[in-house]
Amino acid sequence: MMQSAGRTKYNSVGTLSEQPFAFENYYLLERRKYTLHPSGRLHGWLISIVVFTMVATMLLLVAMTGDEEISAVPSVHDASVGSMSTSDFPPGVILMISDGFGPASETFAHQFHNWRQGDTTKDVPLPLDDILVGHARTKSFSSLVTDSAAGATAFSCGLKTYNGAVGVDDKSRPCGTLLESAKVHRGMMTGLVVTSRITHATPASFSSHVTGRDDENAIAAQLIGDSPLGRVVDLMFGGGTCHFRPNTSSSADTPSCRSDSRDLFKEAQENHDWNVYLDRVAFDGLDANAKLPLMNLFAPSHLEYEIDRNSTTQPPLAEMAYKAVQILGTPERQAPNGFFLVIEGSRIDMAAHTNDPAAHVHDIWEYQETVKKMKGFVKTRPNTVLISISDHETGGLTLGRQVGSDYPEYKWNPSAIERVQKSAETLAAQWIHAVQQNVASESFLQKSIFKQGLGIDDATSDETAWFMEWRNDAPDSDDDVAYQLGDMVSRRALIGWTTHGHTAVDVNLYAYANEGPNIDELRGVIDNVDIAHFVSKYLNLDIQDITKRLNANKTFVEDVVASKRIHTPHGPYFH
């Protein structure tokens, strides 16, 4: 087949057929066995007590599950998984990344949820609460405050690198990743599920190698299989279609972000056997037997914030993640090799960049719902481990804010968050569009933006004047509108922010397993690179070998080193 102009063709090395391996047998936790010895009537009473206790325990577990979706996941003893015993289940890793989610954000979501239950004196736990095992340091090679690229590369390659680096070390050399080794060395099923562009820094760092995170066009080519290793990803759910479309695609519905004429959707299908889907209808038709590899991308750029999401066009994170484990985690499909799945709550971070507390907490809540479903899946799958970690904290969020010269009252106001109906980003776009159409009147601002959008009917004269002056000044930056809207809500909620960027705050670490991996190794205070070391050890991976293979291809290395550190045309550069 003819290749597109300017395309570098790499020879695939170390394919699965060339690298036979013996499946690693993993130990199971030893269970103590208790034996009841006959002793007349006492023996009968003991049996009755044991039976009663077992029944009560089973009923309690059923009540605690409380999720009809989870109950649909086949258990170890269901006919759908045949006669597999616990030891037959292959290893699995679900690595969840809550981008920009710091300890204060956890408290924010927890208290807001309890307030919505009607009683802040009660403590209604969230899905992450009972699997907290410690916290992690987040600094990068180049700074005490990391960006998402360096943070994700620490998770994927197990090393420190500079901010902006995707799958490369501090010398800009490609580094092997967990996902690549899982596919090449272990023949595992692999997947990426995100609410950002699939080419964004976090998912890219597990399957791509560029010196600058903004080179998303190069990342897109590597994602479909244009690399020395060939295709290493089996499933992709998220956004970012614009980086796969040729520059000849210019309609509003199918925009391109590429500077060349490469049609990566076509190349993915013809050269790498991808099954490509681009809407919710196709997604709803996918089941556990969906043909792999498959990608389903739902938007030109990021998916919508959860508070704005149109359920007819975009699925929520929890639904995408659940479908992914149904497809990748089916024992008949992946036995005996297992699966490795990365799930990112991407837009938690972006809302914090805007200092938009309402969008932030709604995306956190959806992430918690995703954790709930993944815990339910892991409960039925021995030898599978769930890890949840943030790459960094964003925004410097505080619950409690002094908004004047008077000494502050000790409180914050969840009701100000509850009233918000749309994200600051969406409302900013509405105001900007109104300005462009010359319909940005003060009445439109008060009714459509403040009252209907933010739930604010007491806007001050200074707040109103800011928007009217912005309209008249032909400003250079649209970001300021979203920032101002977010601050209006934050001031009323008494929520503070220290930055529109990241902070160096340590982040919480969560882990849960049924049987198999020893998650005690993650307890306490660890460094972010230790996540990669733990997963590599459990799955018996060899990311050093992948690193050697990548760097042995001189053409690829030259292309990586030469990759441009440029900004792509996406507006705000959330990192």
Number of other CB atoms surrounding residue 164 within 10 Å: 22
Cα separation, 161 vs 153, whole angstroms: 7
At residue 572, what is the residue type? P
pLDDT the model gives residue 67: 41
> Where would I find the H helices in 285-393?
317-328, 331-334, 347-353, 357-379
Q: Is 254 helix (H, G, I), strand (E, B) or coil?
A: coil
396, 141 Cβ separation under 8 angstroms: no
SS (H, E, C) 5-70: CCCCCCCCCCCHHHCCCCCCCCCCCCCCCCCCCCCCHHHHHHHHHHHHHHHHHHHHHHHHHCCHHH
Determine the Cα angle at 130 with ends 128 and 135, to 5°. 70
Mean pLDDT of all residues in 45-70: 42
The active-site residue out of 140, 148, 390, 490 is 148
Mean pLDDT of all residues in 439-460: 97
**Of 290-299, 393-402, 473-482, which range is least confident?**
473-482
At residue 51, does pLDDT exceed 50?
no
Tokens (6 digits) for 386: 């769930």
Q: Is 518 helix (H, G, I), strand (E, B) or coil?
A: coil
Helices 357-379 & 317-328 angle (0-180, nearest 10)? 20
Between residues 174 and 70, the one the model is more confident about: 174
Q: Is 406 helix (H, G, I), strand (E, B) or coil?
A: coil
* 119-137 pLDDT, tens digit each: 777 788 999 999 999 999 9
Tokens (6 digits) for 273: 């056997």
Cα separation, 392 vs 85, whole angstroms: 39
Number of other CB atoms surrounding residue 405 within 10 Å: 5
Q: Is 142 among the catalytic positions?
A: no
At residue 50, does pLDDT exceed 80?
no
**Of 66-80, 314-328, 401-415, which range is least confident?**
66-80
The residue among 386, 370, 352, 375 whose CA lies nearest residue 91 is: 386
